[in-house]
């Protein structure tokens, strides 16, 4: 045992001195005597990996491309046709700006025939529209104040309404509930996005409700009688609508009203609505006018006053921010010059095809679920529009409501789209080193098909599904830019 211990100590000393003598062996204490196991970094998950792990019910399709080179970087079902929903408005905005120009303004005019003597117009007064989607009650009032300043006190002729040849639609999508304001009528005279303010208060159980219908503005608030509303004893449907002689009539389920409330409801007779509001404001500023009629503009009519919309760029930016369907339809019709929705939506489809996006649109707002595009085609459209100014009017969606970055280290300029069990997102992802064009489409068509007709305004489960879908979309963006 003693000899073995002595040999071991001698061996260790020899090894140590050898290390001092050899430069190569002198580094031995800093290195391992056996090779280290090197662990390869975990591969970054693909978008498909994230979709699979998230488990959203329904279909998901997406496409991502480098904004500078156009190289496709990540896809999932890029050729699957799906509904774009309100992402359609991004295409409509680019289409209208291309066809009409960024500085285009919509004009609403007051014209007259005959002479005005001692405040009395001995001729016709004409309210002439051009489809202005932003015309409101107060701007209509400003036109009448201008007439008042010119000395007008009474019109002896006719009060004529004319839409300037702009197409008329009773509604965008006939499958929507009648009371939803996002499915308005479209005409040459559009007032307050063709919505009427409906307010109600229950006085008592015997007298029932006091109900008002108004063209509400900040400075003027004329009553509206061409649209009447009647409470009825039933549970469903909550609202029903029909056109009647002289206007329109609504019925509302009495149990749904409660003690009091208010909402905006659409009008299906927008020209008459604008005309009645115009005449009501005229009474407030003490100008007497006859009942309005819809007719042609007489020859020789001269302009007395006019009001202009903001430039088209500003209108389009607000449309994309607030997702106003009426504005989208007006811009689409104005850009195409077509008299029918089918023809105008077809013109939008053809124009988008020039950017490599094959698809079919049934409107300009995305309200109709029958519009179909692909994620790959939508991404190519965004690539083609990268220098058109579209990015500059898309909404900055980089942060959520709490101010947290949705894709840390990047900006998101995009348009969202939402229908019942349909959720979409498309635009530009601007990173510190790279920028991207992207499109993400999701839907759950079986759940959408099960929605009862009377439950289409707020169907059960749709909101929860939409929130989950939106979370998935932002997870994809964060992963792509990481």
Which of 262, 278, 309 terminates a domain? The answer is 309
Q: Say whether both 343 and 266 belong to one domain.
A: no
What domain count does the chain have?
Answer: 2
Q: Say whether both 133 and 146 belong to one domain.
A: yes
pLDDT of res. 6: 37
137, 192 contact by CB (below 8 A): yes
Q: What is the CATH number of the domain that holds 275?
A: 3.50.80.20
Q: Please give the model's pTM, rounded to 2 decimal places.
A: 0.89
Q: Say whether both 370 and 298 belong to one domain.
A: no
pLDDT in tens, 7-17: 343 433 343 33
Band of residue 417 on the pLDDT scale cut at 50, 70, 90: very high
| Whether pLDDT at 85 is above 60 | yes
pLDDT of res. 456: 83
267 within some domain: yes
pLDDT in tens, 399-408: 999 999 999 9
* Averaged pLDDT for residues 415-444: 97
Band of residue 453 on the pLDDT scale cut at 50, 70, 90: confident
**Between 266 and 203, the higher pLDDT residue:** 266
For residue 31, the Cα-to-chain-centroid distance in whole angstroms is 63
420 within some domain: yes
Residue with tokens 């969202």: 416
Band of residue 39 on the pLDDT scale cut at 50, 70, 90: low
Q: What is the CATH number of the domain that holds 316?
A: 3.40.710.10
pLDDT of res. 477: 98
Residues 6+ apart with CB under 8 A from 474: 406, 407
Band of residue 457 on the pLDDT scale cut at 50, 70, 90: confident
Residue 263 β-bridge partners? 198
* Cis preceding linkage at 40, omega within 30: no
Cα–Cα distance for residue pair 208/227, rounded to 1 Å = 19
* Averaged pLDDT for residues 293-314: 98
* Averaged pLDDT for residues 171-178: 94
441 within some domain: yes
Q: Say whether both 336 and 355 belong to one domain.
A: yes
375 within some domain: yes
Range of the structural domain that residue 61 is part of? 47-103+311-481
Residues 6+ apart with CB under 8 A from 61: 76, 77, 78, 80, 82, 374, 375, 440, 441, 442
pLDDT of res. 17: 34
């Amino acid at each position: 045992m003693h000899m073995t211990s002595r040999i071991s100590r001698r061996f260790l000393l020899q090894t140590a001195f050898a290390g001092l003598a050899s430069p190569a062996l002198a580094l031995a204490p800093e290195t391992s005597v056996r090779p280290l196991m090197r662990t390869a970094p975990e591969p970054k998950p693909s978008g498909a990996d994230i979709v699979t792990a998230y488990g959203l019910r329904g279909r998901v399709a997406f496409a991502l491309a480098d904004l500078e080179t156009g190289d496709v970087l990540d896809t999932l079902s890029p050729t699957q046709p799906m509904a774009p929903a309100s992402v359609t408005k991004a295409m409509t905005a680019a289409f209208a700006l291309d066809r009409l120009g960024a500085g285009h303004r919509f004009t609403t005019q007051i014209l007259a025939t005959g002479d005005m003597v001692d405040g009395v117009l001995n001729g016709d007064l004409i309210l002439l529209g051009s489809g202005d989607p932003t015309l409101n009650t107060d701007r209509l009032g400003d036109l009448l104040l201008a007439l008042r300043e010119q000395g007008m006190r009474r019109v002896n002729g006719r009060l004529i309404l004319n839409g300037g040849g702009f197409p008329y639609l009773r509604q965008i999508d006939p499958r929507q509930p009648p009371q939803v304001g996002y499915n308005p009528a479209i005409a040459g005279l559009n007032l307050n996005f063709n919505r009427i303010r409906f307010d109600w208060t229950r006085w008592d159980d015997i007298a029932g409700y006091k109900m008002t219908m108004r063209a509400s503005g900040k400075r003027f608030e004329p009553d509206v009688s061409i649209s009447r509303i009647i409470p009825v004893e039933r549970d469903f449907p909550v609202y029903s609508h029909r056109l009647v002689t002289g206007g329109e009539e609504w019925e509302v389920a009495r149990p749904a009203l409660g003690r009091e409330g208010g909402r905006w409801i659409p009008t299906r007779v927008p020209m008459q609505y604008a005309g009645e509001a115009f005449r009501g404001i005229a009474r407030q500023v003490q100008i007497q006018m006859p009942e309005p009629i819809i007719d042609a503009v007489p020859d020789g009519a001269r302009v007395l006053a006019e009001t202009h919309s903001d430039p088209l760029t500003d209108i389009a930016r607000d449309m994309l921010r607030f997702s106003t369907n009426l504005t989208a339809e007006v811009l689409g019709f104005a850009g195409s010059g077509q008299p029918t929705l089918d023809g105008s939506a077809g013109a939008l489809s053809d124009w988008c095809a020039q950017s490599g996006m094959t698809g079919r649109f049934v409107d300009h707002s995305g309200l109709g679920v029958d519009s179909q595009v692909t994620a790959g085609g939508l991404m190519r459209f965004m690539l083609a529009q990268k220098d058109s100014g579209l990015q500059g009017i898309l909404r900055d969606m980089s942060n959520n409501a709490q101010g947290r970055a949705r894709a840390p280290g990047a900006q998101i300029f995009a348009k969202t789209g939402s229908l019942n069990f349909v959720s979409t997102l498309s635009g530009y992802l601007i990173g510190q080193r790279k920028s991207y064009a992207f499109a993400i489409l999701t839907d759950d068509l079986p759940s959408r098909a099960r929605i009862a007709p009377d439950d289409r305004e707020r169907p059960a489960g749709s909101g929860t599904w939409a929130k989950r879908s939106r979370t998935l979309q932002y997870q994809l963006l964060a992963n792509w830019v990481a």
